[in-house]
Chains A and B, each alone.
Chain A
């Protein structure tokens, strides 16, 4: 128990239902290649992994710091393009991945710092508007610089030999091919990043962030420079999002504006964090899992619903309209469950 508590930075899920859910997700993801055969299931599992990191890094801003950013996909995209373009231009090697990752981290943190200095000085609301503007400009820029980024089509690239399906690690019952090895790389990297973020929010630094979120004036009066703290949180979140982007690029063997930079992805992250539960980090896990599963499987369900009923009803239940219902769920959860699913399930101290 003591060991688990240390791993979770003394911030366990609390509550039986929540712990069970999280344990199920953890076991499911750990054994995904063996439990759920087939490419679709493995893709879903990997997507959940890097979206957990992305959503958790967004929760660092939204839930813990109390500021709304609309440029989070930009940092996700910087990570994706960093690793992707390095692999594309310098061939499939680990060095390329590392160089691309470091370049992406530096760019993401620097950009986050500049945006923060411009907008966080005044009011948090400025931050929402300015990040929206910068994020959309960046996404258009990425589509337009097609010489470098491949434009709308993006770039497809090859991975180092160890991560290709033709690579085999063991023989016999526990045979693992490169694809599965790739999955475990994504999984463990995501796990480490998540635990690292849990460590950050439960550190004294994390406490100051929460103090600022709860009462800006009082935190400032106690001597904490809120601009400094918010800027650091912004940079950390940006760096984590960039790493999630690197993971997504490695898994998809592709990077492009539609999967990383689009405003739709931004809304997805927002929905994940709010529905899962802001300010808990575990909410990001629950939210990302539910969302990715819904995105993949809910559409089948809605396809069945749309076979019955009136014409407009058919259109409203069209499989492509699933975002409509998640939007409704989102608004309702902001009103009635501001703490999200995790907040509901979690016991008070």
Chain B
């Protein structure tokens, strides 16, 4: 008999090819772009953009992974989050206009907190009222959440009006930092920090906490989790609220990125979110992260090299990925 130390559990081989995609695309673009400083600027801007898309998309993929619910209402939560932050522009005007990084960050954090609170609460109500009756019926889920999206969008127009509302960046976040020939917008750096924090928090929660263990187990086999005595419904609600709050956070970041609020902003970005989530593999957080970076970086390079093609590049990228792996980069186990 072998000593215990040599008895190893079967380990799944880590799948690293998708991880290499972003560097590969970046390296392939280098000779095409030509100038190194332009390339660095494009790459950094693309990565930052990818972070924002990731924040917006993470909630959707999390909810889908656990609950098998494709929530078109996610687009509405993005808009609601951005508008909730917009409500604080007037009260916090002093902090926002002060040329102090601390005051600006404080204002941004308060806005994010309010946006997440509002979208979290609305998400809770949405799950209770709209989604509970249609668990396990994918067709109805799509229809009902699209209906929710229409209604939410119309209510926003009824309250805030159909016109675009400007949302100016806090003073200290404007402009770019220049390193030699490389220019990086300050706000994009903030977006990178927020995105990394969210990604780290999600990965740590999913992999290092009991809640995360239950969520991953629930994705794998919900009946078994329930049989072990955990209320999977509560887990569902919690994840849905978290996903909605993440959409709210994403809405704030997206709103400041565009520096404007429009009733259709959530719907506009939802298209990009779907592309990212499909590329990453429905339900996978890691895949969503890579997908978001990949989409943003590719869009940036094509936007620079061939502006006419920029629009199609996302679709083309998605088509190529799906031809290679028909379920996305990191398909979630059972589905």
Interface residues of A (CB under 8 A from B): 62, 66, 68, 118-119, 121-126, 128-130, 132-134, 136-137, 140-141, 144, 263, 267, 270, 274, 312, 315-316, 318, 320-321, 323-324, 326-328, 330-331, 334-335, 338
A contact residues around B146 at 8 Å (CB): 267, 270
Counting CB contacts under 8 A, is B319 at the interface? yes
Q: In the assembly, what is the distance between CA of A318 and CA of B151, in Å?
A: 14
Are A141 and B142 neighbours in the complex by a CB distance under 8 Å?
Answer: no
Chain A residues with CB below 8 A from B326, complex form: 121-122
**B-side binding surface: helix, strand, loop or mixed?**
helix
A100 and B323 CA atoms in complex are apart in Å by: 32
Q: Please report the C-alpha to C-alpha distance between residue A190 and residue B282 in the assembled complex, in whole angstroms.
A: 40
> Mask for B138-151, Cβ within 8 A of A = 1, else 0?
11101110111011
Give 20 A-B pairs besides A122-B326, A141-B312, A263-B267 with Cβ atoms closer than 8 angstroms: A68-B139, A68-B142, A122-B327, A125-B282, A128-B70, A128-B142, A129-B278, A130-B318, A132-B271, A144-B308, A270-B143, A320-B162, A321-B157, A324-B150, A327-B147, A331-B130, A334-B143, A334-B144, A335-B144, A338-B140
Q: Please, could you name 23 A-B residue pairs with CB atoms under 8 Å apart, sorted by A?
A: A66-B139, A68-B142, A123-B282, A125-B138, A125-B282, A126-B278, A128-B142, A130-B278, A130-B318, A133-B274, A133-B275, A136-B271, A137-B311, A267-B146, A315-B158, A324-B151, A324-B155, A326-B150, A327-B151, A327-B154, A328-B151, A330-B143, A330-B147
- The answer to whether A125 and B70 have CB atoms under 8 Å apart is yes
**Residues on the B chain within 8 Å of A327, using CB:** 147, 150-151, 154
B322/A331 in contact, CB under 8 A: no
Assign chain B's interface to a size class: 35 or more
Query: Does residue B119 face the partner (Cβ distance < 8 Å to A)?
Result: no
Alpha-carbon gap, A213 to B335, bound state (A): 19
Given known contacts A68-B142, A267-B146, A334-B143, is B314 in contact with A133 (CB within 8 Å)? yes
A136 to B311, CA, bound (A): 10
> Nearest Cβ in chain B — how far from A174, in angstroms?
44
Residues of A within 8 A of B278 (CB): 126, 129-130, 133
Q: Per a CB cutoff under 8 Å, which of A118, A126, A137, A330 touches B312? A: A137
B277 within 8 A of A: yes
Q: A129 is contacted by which of B150, B277, B308, B327 (Cβ under 8 Å)? A: B277
B133 within 8 A of A: yes
Point out the residues of chain A lying under 8 angstroms from B319, CB to CB. Answer: 118
Interface centre among B147, B154, B157, B270 (most CB of A within 10 A): B147
- B175-198 residues with Cβ-Cβ distance < 8 A to A are none
* Interface: B200 (CB within 8 A): no
The reply on B165 being an interface residue by CB < 8 A is no
Nearest CB on A from B294, distance (A)? 15
- Residues of chain A with a CB closer than 8 A to B150's CB: 267, 323-324, 326-327, 330
Task: Give the distance in Å from the alpha carbon of A118 to the alpha carbon of B134 in the complex.
Answer: 27
B148 touches A144 (CB 8 A): no
- Given the complex of chains A and B, what is the CA–CA distance between A240 and B315 in angstroms? 25
8 Å CB contact of A140 from B142, B311, B318: B311
Interface string of B288-317 (1 = CB under 8 A from A): 000000000000000000001001101100
**Cβ of B322 and Cβ of A118 under 8 Å apart?**
yes
Is B159 located at the chain interface by the 8 A CB criterion? yes
> Which 5 residue pairs are nearest across A and B when measured between Cβ atoms?
A324-B154, A327-B150, A331-B147, A129-B274, A327-B151
Interface string of B47-67 (1 = CB under 8 A from A): 000000000000000000000
CB pair B335–A123 under 8 Å, yes or no, is yes
Number of A-B contacts (CB under 8 A): 102
Write the chain B residue with the least CB distance to A314: B158
CB proximity of B311 to chain A, nearest CB, Å = 6
Q: How far is the CB of A272 from chain B (nearest CB, A)?
A: 13
Cβ distance A72 to chain B, nearest Cβ, rounded Å: 13
Shortest CB-to-CB span from B282 to chain A, Å, is: 7
B101-137: CB near A (< 8 Å → 1, else 0) gives 0000000000000000000000000000010011000
CA distance A324 to B162 in the complex (A): 13
**Interface set, chain B 27-54, CB cutoff 8 A to A:** none
B114 → chain A closest CB, angstroms: 21
Closest to A121 in B: B326
With A119-B322, A128-B70, A330-B147 as contacts: A144 and B139 at CB distance below 8 Å: no
CA distance A331 to B144 in the complex (A): 5
Which residues in A have their C-beta under 8 angstroms from that of B318?
130, 133
When distances are taken between beta carbons in the complex, the residues of chain A under 8 Å from B144 are 331, 334-335
A137 and B154 contacting across the interface, CB-CB below 8 Å: no
- Bound Cα distance from A330 to B147, whole angstroms: 6
B335 neighbours in A (Cβ, 8 Å): 123
Closest Cβ neighbor of B152 among chain A residues: A327
Give bound CA distance, A209 to B278, whole Å. Answer: 26
Instruction: Looking at the assembled complex, report how far the CB atom of B315 sits from the nearest CB atom of chain A, in whole angstroms.
Output: 5
Complex: A140 Cα to B225 Cα, angstroms: 45
Residues of A within 8 A of B143 (CB): 68, 270, 274, 330, 334
Q: When chains A and B are docked, how far (Å) is the Cα of A137 from the Cα of B138?
A: 25
Determine whether the beta carbon of A133 is less than 8 Å from that of B138: no
Query: CA of A324 to CA of B147 in the docked complex: distance in angstroms?
Result: 9
Bound state CA distance, A121 and B308, in angstroms? 30
CB closest residue in chain B, given A144: B311
Complex Cα gap A119–B274 (Å): 13
Known contacts A118-B319, A274-B143, A318-B158; is A331 also within 8 Å of B151 by CB?
yes
Residue interface bits B231-267, CB-to-A below 8 A is 1, else 0: 0000000000000000000000000000000000001
Q: Which residue of B lies closest to A63 (CB)?
A: B139
